[in-house]
């Protein structure tokens, strides 16, 4: 071989070449010119190039095997516009990066171009941008280069996940969606991207609190919870499920390829009138997944204390308790009974510049101006109990804890209530009387609980008769008997008085455009307020039962939820069916 003959070698020959360098002494050669690389450095660089070429060749061969196009992104001008299409964390999770976007064309590079999650991502990019796309196989080195490109573009703002519904679109949809039946007609002729937009726009239009999208064997069911009642509003063919769930996961920051475990996410609906957050929950089911999207409208929680629906005597009682400088005020009831709304209304009532209020929530669903809100994080051991201890070092006047679930949190909360703080929280019990035995069953000592508790609120939400179509009706014999029985049991000590039976009026909604022919529009609370009297405190022991607490409370003049509901029936606000539905005949 001549002096100028080229020398060819493969990566497998590394060891023999290193031996050759050792034999010739080249490995220990010093730099002969200032700043010039040594033979060893040149060799290392050449070997790195060889390895990269080999890996690119392998990737190109793999692309031919899979029958997909191949691209080498080394030196490729990846545009900022393409990177904006997919967040960096999602690109890393899916090993897929958009490397070209011209408007009508979008190209996606991935080390796993045939993976279902990558195919779904391409579909979503095509749908969202009204573009034609393709997936290219890229090497690990190309993926590294593309991911690194995110870091070199500081001008790219954090990508906001959400659904953009313009005011013009909303107005157009509202003109088309006069009833629930119209939703089915509109979405049938729409793309997957538009379907989600239409569903969310319809949810806002009809005052929906939760949107349920569920995969069944032969169809996809869309249901709205309106005024506490689930109503089926549309269905789609089951073959659209993968596209629907991928679109939801994409906008809410969930992992598209994770289907076997629950996930929680969030996205925002952007409107000129104000942004609305949507909390997303998915769980695996037999035929796919069940998705629940809770629409967190600020207006839904901006209820003032005076608007909660307390009757005058109950309102006076509760106001006295929440104005105290210390003690505990608890709200009880099942999920969806309005406990959070009640607590926030109390906080707003007490929120003045001379009062420091701190909350501990899981999660923070609504932002309250002038109040310090903190969210627990189990992954960092920031639990209700630990968080509450930290909050008390902040010198608050009022503390709100989202829920008391265990003895540790209960004990910290009780100690706070006994040492000069007003504590607000919730407890999952059926009624106010059940809160005391629940605390004791957790392990709380009665002698500590008795002086700490100020009041316990039991509550439910009933639908209001539609004001537009309400009309006087004659109750059935059973309904009249139920109302008479409940009214007769209202304790005289409560101070509540009803009009003579001859003047009673019962109302129902006939059904109209305003209430979507349901006869109901909006909701109001029915309440019972158990104030801790001396008699109840004296009776508290490890063995006190819910029945004993309830009877003592009635003797002190407590109006039960059922009685409050019947009084609101006679006020023309709701119906017998509603009170029976939420408070029960034997309550």
Is residue 24 in some structural domain?
Answer: no
Q: Are residues 141 and 167 in the same domain?
A: no
What band does 12 get if pLDDT is binned at 50, 70 and 90?
A: very low
| pLDDT score at 409 | 92
Same domain membership, residue 564 and residue 509:
yes
- Phi and psi angles of residue 183, each rounded to the nearest 5 degrees, phi first: -60, -45
- Res 35: pLDDT: 55
457, 335 contact by CB (below 8 A): no
367 three-class SS: coil
User: Which three-class secondary structure state does DSSP give residue 21?
Assistant: helix
CATH number at residue 113: 3.30.300
Last residue of a domain, one of 117, 151, 185: 151
Percent of the chain at pLDDT above 90? 50
- On whether residue 524 sits in a domain, the answer given is yes
State how many domains the chain has.
3
Closest Cα to residue 399, out of 380, 372, 376?
372
Distance CA 316, CA 313 (A): 5
Distance of alpha carbon 507 from alpha carbon 573, whole angstroms = 8
pLDDT band at 161 (very low <50, low <70, confident <90, very high): low
Cα angle 25, 30, 31; round to 5:
135
pLDDT band at residue 177 under the 50/70/90 scheme: confident
CA distance 109 to 246: 19
Q: Same domain for 107 and 198?
A: no
Where a domain ends, among 95, 119, 151? 151
Reading the block at residue 190, the tokens are 């729409």
Among 296, 315, 330, identify where a domain stops.
Answer: 296
pLDDT at residue number 197: 84
Distance CA 135, CA 114 (A): 8
pLDDT of residue 270: 79
> Would 64 be classed as within a structural domain?
no
Roughly what angle, to the nearest 10 degrees, separates helices 14-24 and 39-66? 170
Residue 347 sits in the same domain as residue 410: yes
Same domain for 368 and 266: no
- In this prediction, residue 586 has a pLDDT band, given cuts at 50, 70 and 90, of low
pLDDT of residue 56: 87
Asked whether residue 431 falls in the same domain as residue 565, the answer is yes
Average pLDDT score, the chain: 85
Residue 509 placed within a domain: yes
- Dump pLDDT digits (tens) for 53-110: 888 888 899 989 999 999 998 888 887 778 888 888 889 989 999 998 888 889 999 9
Give the integer Cα–Cα distance in Å for 305 and 310.
9
Q: Please report whether residue 12 resides in a domain.
A: no
Per-residue pLDDT, averaged over 515-542, amounts to: 93
pLDDT confidence bin for 13, thresholds 50/70/90: very low
**Coil/strand/helix, residue 363:** coil
Give 200-217 pLDDT, tens digit per residue.
888 988 889 999 999 999
Same domain as 91, residue 136: yes
pLDDT in tens, 104-151: 889 999 999 998 889 888 888 887 777 888 999 999 989 988 898 887
**Whether 276 and 368 share a structural domain:** no
446 and 572: one domain?
A: yes
515 DSSP 8-state letter:
T
Q: Is 538 a residue whose pLDDT tops 90? A: yes
CA distance 10 to 53: 11
Same-domain pairing of 292 and 405:
no
E strands, 201-348, are: 208-215, 219-226, 229-237, 263-270, 276-285, 288-296, 327-332
DSSP string, 239-262: GGHHHHHHHHHHHHT--TT--SS-
pLDDT band at 39 (very low <50, low <70, confident <90, very high): low
Is residue 319 in a domain?
A: yes
User: DSSP label at 37?
Assistant: P
Identify whether residues 96 and 168 lie together within a single domain: no
Distance CA 276, CA 104 (A): 31
- The pLDDT of 260-266, averaged and rounded, is 90
pLDDT at 540 over 50: yes
Higher-confidence residue of 298 and 452: namely: 452
What's the mean pLDDT in 456-480?
A: 95
Supply the CATH number for residue 286's domain.
3.30.450.90
Residue 485 contacts by C-beta under 8 Å, 6 or more apart in sequence?
A: none
From 248-257, 422-431, 440-449, 534-543, the region with the lowest mean pLDDT: 248-257
Q: How confident is the model at residue 155 (pLDDT cuts 50, 70, 90)?
A: very low
C-alpha 511: how far from chain center: 32
Do you know the residue count of the chain? 587
Q: CA end-to-end span of the chain, whole Å?
A: 102
Residue 274 domain boundaries = 162-296
The confidence score (pLDDT) of residue 7 equals 42
Cα-based distances in Å from 497 to 475, 489, 558, 572? 21, 12, 14, 16
Name the β-bridge partners of 136: 109
Report the candidate in 416, 544, 566 with the shortest Cα–Cα distance to residue 490. 566
pLDDT of res. 226: 92
Q: Is residue 48 part of a domain?
A: no
Q: Which residue has the higher pLDDT, 344 or 190?
A: 344
pLDDT at 193: 74
Cα Rg of the chain, angstroms: 33
Number of helices (H), then strands (E), in the chain? 22, 19
Is 80 exceeded by the pLDDT of residue 160?
Answer: no
Q: Kindly provide the residue ranges of all beta strands, DSSP E only, lying in 38-191, ordered along the sequence.
A: 96-101, 105-110, 132-137, 162-164
pLDDT at 151: 78
Question: Do residue 273 and residue 349 come from a single domain?
Answer: no
Whether 15 is in a domain gets the answer: no
Give the CATH number for residue 541. 3.40.50.300
pLDDT at 45: 64
Q: Is 518 helix (H, G, I), strand (E, B) or coil?
A: coil
SS3 of 4, please? coil
Q: What is the pLDDT at residue 250?
A: 80
Distance of alpha carbon 485 from alpha carbon 483, whole angstroms:
5
Torsion of CA 446, 449, 455, 457, to 10 degrees: -80
């Amino acid at each position: 071989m001549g002096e100028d003959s080229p020398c060819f070698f493969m990566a497998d020959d590394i060891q023999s070449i290193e031996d050759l360098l050792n034999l010739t002494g080249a490995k220990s050669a010093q730099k002969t010119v200032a700043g010039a690389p040594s033979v060893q450095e040149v060799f290392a660089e050449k070997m790195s190039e060889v390895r990269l070429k080999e890996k690119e060749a392998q990737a190109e061969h793999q692309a031919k095997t899979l029958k997909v196009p191949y691209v080498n992104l080394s030196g490729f001008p990846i545009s900022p516009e393409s990177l904006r299409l997919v967040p960096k964390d999602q690109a890393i999770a899916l090993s897929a990066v958009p490397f070209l976007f011209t408007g009508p064309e979008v190209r996606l590079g991935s080390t796993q171009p045939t993976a279902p999650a990558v195919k779904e991502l391409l579909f979503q990019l095509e749908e969202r941008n009204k573009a034609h796309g393709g997936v290219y196989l890229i090497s690990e080195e190309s993926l590294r280069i593309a991911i690194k490109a995110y870091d070199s573009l500081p001008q790219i703002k954090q990508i906001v996940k959400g659904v953009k519904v313009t005011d013009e679109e909303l107005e157009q949809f509202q003109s088309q969606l006069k009833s629930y039946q119209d939703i089915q007609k509109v979405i049938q002729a729409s793309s997957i991207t538009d379907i989600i937009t239409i569903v969310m726009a319809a949810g806002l239009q009809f005052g929906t609190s939760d949107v349920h999208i569920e995969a069944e064997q032969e169809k996809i069911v869309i249901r709205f919870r309106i005024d506490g009642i689930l109503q089926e509003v549309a269905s789609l063919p089951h073959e659209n499920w993968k596209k629907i769930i991928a679109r939801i996961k994409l906008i809410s920051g969930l992992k598209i390829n994770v289907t076997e475990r629950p996930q929680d996410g969030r996205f925002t609906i952007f409107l000129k009138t104000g942004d609305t957050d949507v909390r997303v929950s998915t769980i695996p089911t037999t035929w796919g997944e069940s998705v629940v999207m809770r629409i967190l409208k600020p207006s839904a929680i901006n209820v003032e204390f005076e608007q909660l629906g307390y009757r005058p005597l109950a309102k006076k009682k509760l106001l006295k308790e929440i104005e105290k400088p210390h003690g505990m005020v608890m709200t009880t009831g099942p999920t969806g009974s309005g406990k959070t709304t009640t607590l926030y209304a109390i906080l707003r009532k007490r929120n003045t510049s001379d009062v420091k209020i701190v909350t501990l929530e899981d999660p923070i669903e609504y932002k309250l101006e002038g109040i310090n809100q903190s969210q627990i994080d189990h992954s960092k051991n920031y639990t209700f109990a630990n968080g509450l201890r930290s909050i008390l070092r902040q010198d608050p006047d009022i503390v709100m804890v989202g829920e008391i679930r265990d003895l540790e949190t209960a004990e910290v909360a009780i100690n706070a209530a006994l040492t000069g703080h007003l504590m607000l929280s919730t407890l999952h019990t059926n009624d106010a009387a059940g809160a005391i035995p629940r605390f004791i069953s957790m392990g709380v000592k009665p002698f500590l609980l008795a002086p700490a508790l100020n009041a316990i609120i039991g509550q439910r939400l009933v639908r209001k008769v539609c004001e537009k179509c309400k009309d006087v009706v004659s109750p059935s014999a059973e309904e009249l008997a139920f109302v008479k029985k409940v009214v007769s049991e209202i304790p005289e000590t409560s101070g509540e008085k009803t009009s003579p039976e001859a003047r009673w009026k019962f109302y129902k909604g006939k059904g109209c455009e305003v209430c979507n022919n349901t006869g109901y529009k909006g909701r109001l609370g029915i309440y019972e307020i158990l104030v801790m009297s001396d008699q109840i405190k004296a009776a508290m022991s490890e063995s006190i039962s819910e029945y004993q607490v309830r009877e003592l409370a009635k003797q002190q003049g407590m109006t039960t939820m059922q009685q409050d509901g019947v009084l609101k029936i006679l006020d023309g606000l709701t119906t017998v069916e509603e009170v029976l539905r939420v408070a029960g005949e034997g309550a």
